[in-house]
């Protein structure tokens, strides 16, 4: 497993956040993960991952607000 990266999207405009997150996810090797840092609960993002990458990702909350959320998102299968 390579070094785990941290993606802090708090300074990004909301319209760009999911794009950056999915770019980072698609750049992972199988078995790797990154830490997402956000300023709100990323539950809608989880639902998007569940719909688009079902069975191909892990989602492990690390910190849950109220001002900072962190979740480790991993890749378990190759994406298409």
Q: What is the pLDDT along the chain (80 residues), one digit of tens a residue?
A: 456 799 999 999 988 999 999 999 999 999 999 999 999 999 999 999 999 999 999 999 999 999 999 999 999 998 66
Question: Has residue 59 been placed in a domain?
Answer: yes
Residue 65 domain boundaries: 13-34+41-75
- Number of independent structural domains in the chain: 1
pLDDT of amino acid 7: 98
Residue 25 domain-assigned?
Answer: yes
The confidence score (pLDDT) of residue 30 equals 95
Q: Which two tokens stand for residue 73?
A: 């998102």
In a domain, 45, yes or no: yes
Q: With beta carbons less than 8 A apart as the criterion, state whether 41 and 64 touch.
A: yes
Strand order from edge to edge, sheet including 69-75: 5-8, 33-38, 69-75, 57-64
């Amino acid at each position: 497993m390579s070094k785990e990266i941290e993606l802090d999207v708090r300074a990004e405009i909301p319209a760009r956040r999911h794009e950056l997150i999915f770019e980072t996810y698609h750049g992972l090797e199988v078995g790797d993960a990154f830490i997402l840092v956000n300023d709100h609960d990323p539950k809608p993002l989880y639902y998007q991952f569940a719909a688009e990458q079902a069975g191909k990702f892990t989602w492990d909350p690390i910190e849950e607000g109220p001002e900072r959320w962190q979740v480790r998102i991993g890749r378990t299968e190759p994406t298409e």
